[in-house]
Amino acid sequence: MENLKIRDRIIDFIGTLPTPVSVKAYGSSVAFQGSDSEKDKKQVDLVVIVDDIKKFYEENLKENRYMYKLIPRIYFKHAKVDSLKSYASICYTTHINYGIDTYKMGVIEKKDVLDDLLNWKTFYIAGRFQKEMFTPISDAEIEKANAINKKNALTVALVLLDRKNPTIDKLYETLCSLSYMGDNRKTLKAEDPNKVKKIATYSKDFFDREYKDKTDLFTVNDDGSLNIDYDKVKKSTYFLPLALRSKILAIYDEELSEEDELEKTRDEIKNYLTTIIRKSSKGQTKKGILTTGPKNSVSYALAKLKKGRRKIKSME
């Protein structure tokens, strides 16, 4: 019931913005991820997709000046497009208080969203869009690209999955873990170590609907174990984003045993995702000082660290 209420309030907040192409809300505010402490106020995470990022900020600075501290205000007013689109092509503003909610709003151009969904350029958007989201404003082209993104994510997860005892639960955990490979927050222990498992568990209906029910790569037995068609999985790797696909096809050209080929393919996937995610994650952290302001940037980072390490301590 609470998720329904927050969704209505998100729609109300979006109505105050310059008209976007699409909006996605993600995270525990819209998709239940287990019982957090009541004192942890959930921030509403938004991706606001626009045609022209510079124009959006020009208009929003006039209409919603309250959202921006002094340094972000100066930055967004004078920054060139290349600066706004550096690293993962998205600019975040945090600590936006509207009504009873607090928002973290990321703004990105549609062409950059499509690029990441189809080509996994940074995986920053692609990884988030593979999980459960609330879409108050939809765009057909983005949804079509995201269907391809999710199909590719499933292929990669099936390759990475342990073949000895594959289960549907382990598959969903592997899917959720893709976007955290090389993530700066994980390295700094600023994330709940159980977050991947929680997302996979509490969003099971979503994963069933978006992955299990839309593929012929595997079937599920009554006990949750999987029957995977590995020939079809291998064929589906030929349709992965080009940069990753080229690396995998080079492995297929080698004369390797099936086991060695699988291990090299797994390593290539992990290295590829870790490298691009680490680069975009670190870059976004640095850019956050300008887009959210030093005070908000530091307080946000400290809050994440405190929450993540509290979760770790509770497990000890």
d(CA 46, CA 161): 30
CA–CA gap between residue 68 and residue 291 (Å, rounded): 8
- Amino acid in position 271: N
- Range 6-16 average pLDDT: 96
Where are the extended beta strands (E) located within the chain? 22-26, 44-50, 90-98, 101-109, 133-137, 218-220, 226-228
- Does the pLDDT of residue 306 top 70, yes or no? no
116-130, 167-181, 199-213, 283-297: range with lowest mean pLDDT: 283-297
Alpha-helical (H) ranges within 15-164 are 53-63, 70-78, 81-84, 110-119, 124-129, 140-160
The H or E element spanning position 260 is: helix 258-292
**Ranges of each domain in the chain:** 2-315
What's the pLDDT at 34?
Answer: 62
At 59-82, the pLDDT tens digits run 999 999 999 999 999 999 999 999
For residue 111, the model assigns a pLDDT of: 98
Asked whether 238 and 249 are in contact (CB, 8 A), the reply is yes
Q: Rounded to 5 degrees, what are φ and ψ at 132?
A: -65, 135
Region 79-100: mean pLDDT is: 94
What's the burial of 229, exposed, middle or buried (CB within 10 Å: 0-12/13-18/19+)? middle
Q: Is the pLDDT of residue 314 over 80?
A: no
Query: Distance between CA 149 and CA 167 in Å, rounded?
Result: 22
* 123 backbone dihedrals φ, ψ, rounded to 5°: 70, 5
Max Cα separation, the chain?
A: 62
Cut 0.85: pTM above it: yes
Please report, in angstroms and rounded to a whole number, the separation of the first and last CA atoms in the chain. 33
Per-residue model confidence as pLDDT tens digits over 220-233: 999 999 999 999 99
Write the burial class of residue 259 (CB in 10 Å: 0-12 exposed, 13-18 middle, 19+ buried).
exposed
Asked if 174 and 161 touch (Cβ cutoff 8 Å), the reply is yes
Neighbour order of strands in the sheet with 90-98: 90-98, 101-109, 44-50, 22-26, 133-137
Q: What is the reported pLDDT for 18?
A: 98
